[in-house]
Amino acid sequence: MPWTRKDLITLEELSLDEINQIHATAAAFKKILGRSVKKVPALRGKTIVNLFLEPSTRTRISFDMAAKRLSADVISFDAAASSTTKGETLRDTAENVRALGADMIVIRHAASGSPLYLSKLLDIPVINAGDGAHAHPTQGLLDTFTMREHLGSLKGRKIVILGDILFSRVARSNIHALKKFGADVTLVGPSTLVPRHFTDLGVKVSHDLRSALADAEVVMLLRIQHERQATGYFPSLGEYTSMFGLNKTRAGWLNPKAIIMHPGPINRGVEIDNDLADGPNSVILEQVTNGIAVRMAVLYLCSGGQPENVIASGD
């Protein structure tokens, strides 16, 4: 089936087949990344604008790297430098970017729904690099890509997402993707950060770490934001760590081959023990590497490339 989408806004609207296409394309690009010459000419002559209106380091660098590996020209705006701080509306910023001749926009924005809004305004592709607590589709794609590399099929596999779920776009995008793969997903964390409404997304909600982690094959940790403590969602980082931090004892409850994931940046000693972050079960740095391949696939497909072409060139 050919790829037909111009934009990538949320994984909720993608079919399983489309996610598989992205993963297959990413796998082909990943092979290219292992070569000595890592660049392909797929997007030569195209200009991609990274419109990062919320601070980000690793996602922006990852998109930057992905675009450059595809030979695109990349221009990055960040919140501080952009005119939005001077009161320009998102519509005006976007129309200016289009008038400058951009071929694609990658947007990160603190307000949920902004990429969808932008995609309706512009005829060029819009890629969501994270919007509020709504979606972070490339993260969900790279996380499930990484899980599949280790587990193969995700159907019926027990996967735990642990931490600040309420404010997490990473959790939401993973939930949508994992449901499509038929995984058995449990969200765990303090009840203030894992509200009951999430069960409506087709996942389990638990506040009991032991039963949730028992025999799980994947545990994905989410960063605990210090500001949540200040606004009263939990008493202290110390209490969080004592109740929900992943340590050696608790990791022992997992399936022995379980992988430990984290979208970064990690708080060592808060949500995860130092040793576990660097231990044999940790795939945290693989996630970073896979992120480039997955983002290359997304940029390539949404700019009109077809999966089979790259799969051929990758071999």
Partner 1 sequence: MTPLWIQKAHIIDPAAKRDATGDLYVNEAGKIVPSLSAAAKKRARKIDASGLVACPGLVDIHVHFREPGQTHKETIATGSRAAAAGGFTTVVCMPNTSPVADNAGTIQAIKDAAARDAIVRVYPTGCITTGMKGQALAPIGSLKRAGVVAITDDGDCVQSNALMRSAVEYAKMFDLPVMDHCQDHALTLGAVMNEGVASTRLGLRGWPNAAEDIIVSRNVILSHYTGAHIHCQHISSKYSVELLRRAKARGVRITAEATPHHIALTDAALEHYDTHYKMNPPLRTEEDRLAIIDGLRDGAIDIIATDHAPHTDYEKDREFDNAPNGILGLETALPVTLDTLVRQNKFKLPYVIDLMTRKPAQLLKLPAGTLAEGAPADICLFDPAEKWLYDAKKGFSKSANSPWSGQTLTARVKYTIVGGKMVFENGNIR
* Interacting residues toward partner 1 by CB under 8 A: 12, 89-91, 109-114, 116-117, 131-135, 169, 172, 195, 197-198, 200-201, 231
CA dist., res. 7 & res. 58, Å (int):
21
Minimum Å gap between C-beta 121 and partner 1 is 9
Partner residues linked to 128 by β-bridges: 107
Q: Which is nearer to partner 1, 87 or 152 (CB)?
A: 87
Residue nearer to partner 1 on the CB measure, 140 or 307: 140
The smaller minimum CB distance to partner 1, of residues 75 and 133, is found at 133
Measure the CA–CA gap between 83 and 217, rounded to whole angstroms: 46
Query: Given the complex with partner 1, which of 63 and 117 has the nearer CB atom?
Result: 117
Nearest to 264 by CA among 159, 150, 146, 182: 146
Nearest distance, CB of residue 255 and partner 1, angstroms: 29
- Cβ proximity to partner 1, 10 vs 146, nearer residue: 10
Using alpha carbons, select from 40, 313, 124, 85 the residue that is nearest to residue 107: 124
Which residues, 6 or more positions from 144, have their beta carbon under 8 angstroms from its beta carbon?
Answer: 19, 23, 154, 174, 177, 178, 181
Q: Looking at beta carbons only, is 113 or 264 nearer to partner 1?
A: 113
Q: How far is the CB of 48 from partner 1 (least distance, A)?
A: 22
User: How far from the centroid of its chain's Cα atoms is residue 306's Cα?
Assistant: 22
Instruction: Please report how close the Cβ of residue 45 comes to partner 1 at its closest, in angstroms.
Output: 31
- Are 294 and 173 in contact, with CB atoms under 8 Å apart? no
116: nearest Cα among 5, 4, 7: 7
Least CB distance to partner 1 at residue 132 (A): 5
Residue type, 60: R
Contacts of 230 (CB under 8 A, 6+ apart): none
Beta carbon of residue 182, minimum distance to partner 1 (angstroms, whole number): 20
CA–CA dist 189, 88 (Å, integer): 39
